[in-house]
Amino acid sequence: MKNIRNTNAKKAIIDLITHSNEALSHLEIQNLTNGVCDRVTIYRVLERLIKEDLIHKIVNLDGTTKYASCNHVHQNHSHNHLHFSCENCKKVTCLDTVVPTFSLPENYTIKEVNFTLNGLCPNCK
């Protein structure tokens, strides 16, 4: 029975994230799933979806973790795109068309990058 519930939870969470125009926090996901699963199951499903490369994690400037759908069209995609955090409405959106660039000193190896810009989104401006 646990696997069926977990499968329902996974489907509900991936559908929610996929159809959202903004990144969602764990609490937002929990509130929007209407009791389909508990908070621990949500954490487990989110971690599994990250490992399956279906979603990616964004750590906001205030430390809040949000989750967004991966919108990749090729195998070797990257999550190293910009995220925009609105200081008014608190929505976080992926800016997939903006590719950040930087250079590191020698002997540094990058494993993960988190680019978050803070300001006002078009709706709050």
Whether 6 is in a domain gets the answer: yes
Q: What is the pTM of this model?
A: 0.72
Whether 33 is in a domain gets the answer: yes
Count: domains in the chain: 1
Answer whether residue 74 shows pLDDT above 70: no
Q: Where do we find the tokens 């949500």?
A: 42
Q: Domain of 16: which CATH number?
A: 1.10.10.10
Whether 125 is in a domain gets the answer: no
Q: For 80-122, what is each residue's pLDDT tens digit?
A: 678 888 989 888 888 878 877 888 899 998 777 778 888 999 9
Q: Is 63 left (phi over 0), alpha (psi -120 to 50) or beta?
A: left
CA count, 13 A, side-chain hemisphere, 92: 26
**For residue 8, what are its two tokens?**
């329902």
Whether 124 is in a domain gets the answer: no
- What does the pLDDT average to over 63-87? 73
Q: For 5-57, what is each residue's pLDDT tens digit?
A: 568 899 999 999 999 988 999 999 999 998 888 999 999 999 999 988 889 88
Q: Is 49 left (phi over 0), alpha (psi -120 to 50) or beta?
A: alpha
CA dist 93 and 80 (Å) reads 13
Whether 22 is in a domain gets the answer: yes
